[in-house]
Structures are given as C-alpha cells and as structure tokens.
Amino acid sequence: METQRLEAGDEVRVIAPSDGWRNRRTEAYARAKAHLESLGLVVTYGKHIQSEGRFRTGSVADRLADFHDAYRDPKVRLIIALHGGWSANALLRRIDWELVKANPKPLMGFSDTTVLVNALYAQTGTVNYLGPTFSSLGFRHMFNYTFDNFRSVVVGTASLELRRSREWQRTRGGPLAKTRPWKVLQTGSAEGVLIGGNMGTFYLLQGTPYQPKFDQPFLLLAEDDDEPGKYSAREFDRRLESLLQLSGVRENIRGLVIGRFQPSSRVTMPDVAYIVAKMELRGIPVIADVDFGHTMPLLTLPIGGVAWLEAEKSRASLNLVQW
C-alpha cells in the first residue's frame, strides 16, 4: 500500500511510544518543530508525551492513548516517535489494529521504534518509515542530510536514489569524520520489500503475530547499537543468524543492507565482513556502512516500500522504487 505524500497544512503528531519528554532536550525539540514547520506542516503533541515511569517511559495506557488518538484524528497525516529507547513492544498486544487499518498513515522513528514500523507493516500492509525521531530532527550537527532525505521521502513523488553522506558524527556532539563509500561485501543487484532495522529490537518480534512474513522477495535492513558493549560484534552475529533461521528468510532474502556502527560498539568492518561471509548468503548483494543506525546523519527508509539495490565492486546504490 503506497503512502500519500505530505503537503503544506498537513498535521504531524509527535508521540512517545518509548522514552518520554526530556527537559534537557527542549531546544532540540524546538528546532525540530521549526524544521517541520518550514515545510508548511503543523506540529502537535500527544497528551501524555511527558508521562514518565521508572524506566523513562510512560505507562502502557498513556502511550497507547496517544498512539490511538493519532490514528483516530483525521487531521494527522504523519506520526513521529519522540525518541527511541525501550519497551515499545509492550504496546503491540493492545493496539486496536482495526482502528489503524481504517485510518492508514505512516509512523516514523528508529531504534526501539523498529518494532512498531515493522509490526504496522505486518498487521496492516502500510508503509512506515525507519527514519529520524522527532528529537534527532532537532540535532544541530549533520542536520541537512537527515532533513533533506526525510523531505525527499515524505514529500517527494518519484523514485529516489539514496546517496551517502559526506561526513558523519562519531559521537553525539563530537567531531565529524569523512564518510567512506558504502562498503560492498558481495556484488549483485536485486529488488525487494524493505524490512528490518535495529537487530536488537527487530528480534523481539520473533514468534509473535507482529513479525513481517518473509514470503516475498525482500531486502533486509540491519543495524545494531552499542548496548552489548565489547561483545557487540558477537551479539550482531547471533542476532543475524537467528533471523536467517526463520521460515522463508533464506528463500526470499534478495539483499542485505547493513547500517553504520557506532565506534563505541567496537564492531569493525573486518568483523562485519567475517560475519557476512560465514552466513553463506551466496548470490545476493550485501553492502555495509550505510547511513542509518545509531550515528548521525540518517536516511529515511520506507519499511514495506520497494527498493532496488545494486552493488558493484567499486560502487553501491540503493534506489527507492515504490512507497
């Protein structure tokens, strides 16, 4: 199901399905609001966005109320998660899926929001966005690349070639580094539906009715964060292996797109190359160090949309075809 593009006057609703409002980030929120308003969009907030419990998330009831209100309100055309964080999967079993189906509109975010954008695609067939959170739309550094890609995807109407950034930020507020070309680990070309995101979050869907079915050609998006510490490479390895063992995955995977790792994760490109090689993903293109994950800047990638991946020895490209 294709998404309708945003136009001036459309309303964007900010909700907190994971971590809630943080007073120390009010300046970033103000910048994010101003950036969205520069497109003529109207920004509103969920009633319970400042609700907070022991783990910095609101109660399930409060988070669900804002989630359902956003889908119920006909003026809202895009829903954006305030932050990533933890426990968005607690919402899944209590979501009114018939309400969502009757009021289709995309939700956007990354990290913990991975469970929602994939579950929404699995349950409703709608396209949702693995992209910046509201908070990250207000970051000062590397903003233009993130915002330009966001605008091209949610406003644009034609097919789109995604391009790598020129620089990236190794740590929040830290120095910038020159972006390397997207790394080609296996050559080839393929088209498929985009599925996936943060592996530490995506695998929470395994064995649930909210996991997308791997019954058609798809391209897997895979990235991970630094939460496991020095064993992050091993953790990424076993999470990816676990996913590849699911029914239909090896039969229908047509390409693998791996995001950029934080330096603090201690995952190196030789680690990634080794992991990919031992997975025996023969005959499909694999690229890595792509601009999504837990570093800035970020691409906006349509989960449930169709993309074309081409990986040559000296060049990799990812083109959005339908979303």
- Where do the domains of the chain lie? 11-159, 161-322
Is the pLDDT score of 230 beyond 90?
no
pLDDT of 171 above 90 = no
Contacts of 306 (CB under 8 A, 6+ apart): 191, 192, 193, 194, 320, 321, 322, 323
Least confident of 59-73, 76-90, 164-178, 197-211: 164-178
Average the pLDDT over 139-145 and give the result.
85
pLDDT, mean over the chain: 95
CA–CA separation, 103 and 113 (whole Å): 19
Give the pLDDT confidence score for residue 2 in this predicted structure: 76
CB neighbourhood size of 256 (10 A): 25
Give the pLDDT mean for 56-75: 96
Query: Among 116-125, 135-144, 300-309, where is mean pLDDT lowest?
Result: 135-144
Pick the CATH number of 11-159 from 3.40.50.170, 2.20.25.570, 3.40.50.10740, 3.30.2140.20: 3.40.50.10740
Question: Which CATH number is associated with domain 161-322?
Answer: 3.50.30.60
pLDDT for 260 equals 97
Q: pLDDT for 188-212, tens place per residue?
A: 999 999 999 999 999 999 999 999 9
Q: What is the pTM of this model?
A: 0.96
**pLDDT value of position 60:** 96
If you average pLDDT over residues 122-126, what whole number do you get?
Answer: 97
User: Do the first three CATH levels of 11-159 and 161-322 match, i.e. the same topology?
Assistant: no
Q: Kindly state the average pLDDT of the residues 271-289.
A: 97
Rounded CA gap, 113 and 313, in Å? 33
Q: Encode burial over 168-182: b for 16+ CB neighbours within 10 A, e otherwise.
A: bbeeeeeeeeebeeb
User: What pLDDT was estimated at residue 141?
Assistant: 74
Cα distance between residue 68 and residue 100, in whole Å: 8
The mean pLDDT value for 293-316 works out to 96
Q: Are 233 and 271 in contact (CB under 8 A)?
A: yes
33-62 tens-digit pLDDT = 999 999 999 999 999 999 888 888 999 999
* pLDDT surpasses 80 at 27: yes
Does residue 240 surpass a pLDDT of 90? yes
In one-letter notation, the amino acid at residue 160 is: L
User: If pLDDT is split at 50, 70 and 90, which confidence band does 130 have?
Assistant: very high
